[in-house]
Amino acid sequence: MEILIIILPLVASIISGFFGKFIGDRNSEIITSLMVSISAALSVLIFYEVIVNNYENNITIATWINSGSLEVNWSMKIDALSAVMLVVVTSVSSLVHIYSIGYMSHDPHKPRFMAYLSLFTFAMLMLVTSDNFIQLFFGWEGVGLCSYFLIGFWFKKDTANKAAIKAFLVNRVGDFGFALGIFLIFYLFGTVNYSEVFSQIPNIIDKKLIFLGFEVNAIDLICILLFIGAMGKSAQIFLHTWLPDAMEGPTPVSALIHAATMVTAGVFLVVRCSPIYEYSELALNVITIVGMSTAFFAASIALVQTDIKKIIAYSTCSQLGYMFFAAGVGAYNVAMFHLFTHAFFKALLFLGSGSVIHAFKNEQNINYMGGVWKKLPYTYILMIIGTLALTGFPFLSGFYSKDAIIEFAYLKGNTTGYYAAGVGIFTAFLTSIYSWRLIFKTFHGDYKNKNIKIEETHESPLVMLIPLVLLSIGAIFAGFLFKDLFIIHEGVNFWNDSIFFLKPLSTEHPPFWFLILTPILVILSIPISYYLFLKNKNFSNQILSYNKPLYEFLVNKWYFDELYDYIFVIPSKKLGLFLWKFFDIKLIDGLGPDGISSFIKKCSIKASKFQSGFIYQYAFIMLLGFSALLTFLIVK
């Protein structure tokens, strides 16, 4: 049963990808959606077994590498951590497959799209069920490749191609650090299997290495290198620039890859490697700082974006920051709790935005929407639910998981923890502001689209709405139902050995004022947003007149793209142009094939002049040749 969870999406991808033109669009959609849905049902059964019977297993599928001391298997590790990820990946993927039947109905390449979705699901499942770092890296690169395929799915669109290449290149930076981390693990331990590596960690706590001319602690170096990989995949600050541009792909791609699954791979990596990270205080502090910085900066940018999908994309960056600083303060279980709840409400918001875009005939600018809440009543209600869950409105899923992160950061008791808690509270307020800005500008106020009449907007078909309804159930109830399971209480540890705690988490409670602070700010943000973005129609002009530099700073996304252009892109282009014109054209081509062919051509032109047509000239040349040959023979 366990192996079927992985095999079914792969088989679905092969059938749709290679035989889609023979079986037809509709059959491709049905087969891929059905197989991934079966995989989701089996994942739920595994999750149930883990909850009820503490089920754990390590199934060896095949031997992959057996060379010297390196032994790597294709395997499937089932424990609490992988069971949670199986449910998240397969459930969201199955709903996205079904949603895509309606959303991509007018696309001429539906079998290829469904094949990519299923292939991505397979790669992600290989990642989360691995019991060694090599299989993890295989899945890691597999989801990166599928992300490239899906972002650039509309390959005739120039911006989509550029976004796909950007995502691929930025992720290569993180993956290089990740690969170095795996090499270092094998160098130090002689194995890449989790259980063997984790058992040896206490033996090298004091081991020092020379890296780039500096003496560093081996544990710190491993953790930092692995985290660089996590930063790239989970779009943390400095390696985040690919995620907003990735919105050029179809909306179902955004929901599957850039909200609920692939971008959470970095969080999963850190949590899976908790037996290593628990021995590196430096790495945990770095993760906390990077996480809280990402949470704040992404939320600040989302305040002024106008593309509906990019607002939600920056929201994803911000929420991933929350997960990382939860892991940084040692609350790995809470990071996974937020990953679990976030998958439901963020996929709901992305698919909801797709429903809006579908209604507006591919318009994505919220400034050209408005006044359609009566025309799109189901989408409106479902996006309200997703927004309430995202902002942490009391008793919805985000309320339990996000507040738990802030509370555990506060209970950490050190300077980094207090800073993270403070930034988390302020970011929660910003999150609520930009989320309600999206709702008010999209659904309320005056209708602003001049290209499409309001009568032409319409609600999405059932095949798109049903996945939204199912996700909304998770967005409402996932936090309440699973909070006691995910957050460790005395005598109850759902995670068992899948998450390692060197020191037990604090069981104290923060002050009452601290507990109610975030919910109060979240509730107050609703009337504030209503006034700023709906009632006060001159707010944008007022911002421009009062603080234009700050507005420009945020609109230009903190100028990260411009900075990277100046530091990396422009110099690389200049170097490439120089190497092309001087080395390639002048040296290699000039002295190589072009030079030789030019020399032969000139010789041929000179030789052709002997072909005059006069017999006496031919006789004279023959005489010269005979004389030269005779002279050569005599001299010899």
Under 8 Å CB-to-CB from 109, ≥6 apart: which residues? 153
Greater confidence, 157 or 33?
A: 33
Task: Convert the pLDDT of each residue in 467-518 to its tens digit.
Answer: 999 999 999 999 999 988 898 766 567 888 889 888 887 778 888 888 899 9
**Coil, strand or helix: which one is 575?**
helix
Predicted confidence at residue 490, as pLDDT, reads 60
Length of the chain: 636
Cβ density class 102-135: b for 16+ within 10 Å, e for less:
bbbeeeeebbbbbbbbbbbbbbbbbbbbbbbbbb
Predicted confidence at residue 2, as pLDDT, reads 85
Mean pLDDT of 608-627: 78
Q: Are 470 and 44 in contact (CB under 8 A)?
A: no
Mean pLDDT of 392-410: 92
Predicted confidence at residue 361, as pLDDT, reads 84
- Output the CA–CA distances (angstroms, integers) from residue 532 to 275, 311, 437, 588, 595, in the order listed: 47, 17, 8, 63, 69
Predicted confidence at residue 492, as pLDDT, reads 65
Predicted confidence at residue 544, as pLDDT, reads 66
What proportion of the chain, given as a percentage, has pLDDT over 70? 98
The answer on pLDDT for 617 being more than 80 is: no
Confidence category of residue 228, pLDDT binned at 50, 70, 90 = very high
Question: In 34-129, at which residue ranges do the beta strands (DSSP E only) sit?
Answer: 57-67, 70-78
Task: Convert the pLDDT of each residue in 518-573 to its tens digit.
Answer: 999 999 999 999 988 888 777 666 776 677 788 889 889 899 999 999 998 899 99
Mean pLDDT of 329-356: 92
Nearest to 405 by CA among 505, 335, 464: 335
Confidence category of residue 602, pLDDT binned at 50, 70, 90 = confident
117/81 Cα distance (integer angstroms): 23
Could you tell me which residues are beta bridge partners of residue 346? none
Q: Are 36 and 90 in contact (CB under 8 A)?
A: yes
* Count of other CB atoms within 10 angstroms of residue 85: 28
Predicted confidence at residue 582, as pLDDT, reads 81
The answer on pLDDT for 388 being more than 60 is: yes
Task: Convert the pLDDT of each residue in 69-78 to its tens digit.
Answer: 788 999 999 9
The answer on pLDDT for 636 being more than 70 is: no
Average pLDDT, the chain: 89
Q: Are 35 and 16 in contact (CB under 8 A)?
A: no
The answer on pLDDT for 379 being more than 80 is: yes
Helical residues (DSSP H) of 152-217, grouped into ranges: 158-189, 194-200
Residue 459, φ and ψ in degrees, nearest 5: -70, 150
Task: Convert the pLDDT of each residue in 49-62 to its tens digit.
Answer: 999 988 999 999 89
Greater confidence, 210 or 45?
A: 45
**Coil, strand or helix: which one is 489?**
strand
Nearest to 221 by CA among 209, 206, 204: 209
What proportion of the chain, given as a percentage, has pLDDT over 90? 55
**Tokens matching residue 535:** 């009632």
Predicted confidence at residue 436, as pLDDT, reads 94
pTM score, two decimals? 0.90
Residue 74, φ and ψ in degrees, nearest 5: -80, 120
Predicted confidence at residue 622, as pLDDT, reads 83
Helix (H) or strand (E) holding 215: strand 214-217
Greater confidence, 609 or 240?
A: 240
DSSP string, 221-286: HHHHHHHHHHHHHTT-TTS-THHHHGGGS-HHHHHIIIIISGGGHHHHHHHHTHHHHTT-HHHHHH
Which bin fits 56, alpha (ψ -120 to 50), beta or left (φ > 0)? beta
Confidence category of residue 260, pLDDT binned at 50, 70, 90 = low
Question: What is the number of alpha carbons within 13 Å of residue 537 lying toward its C-beta?
Answer: 5
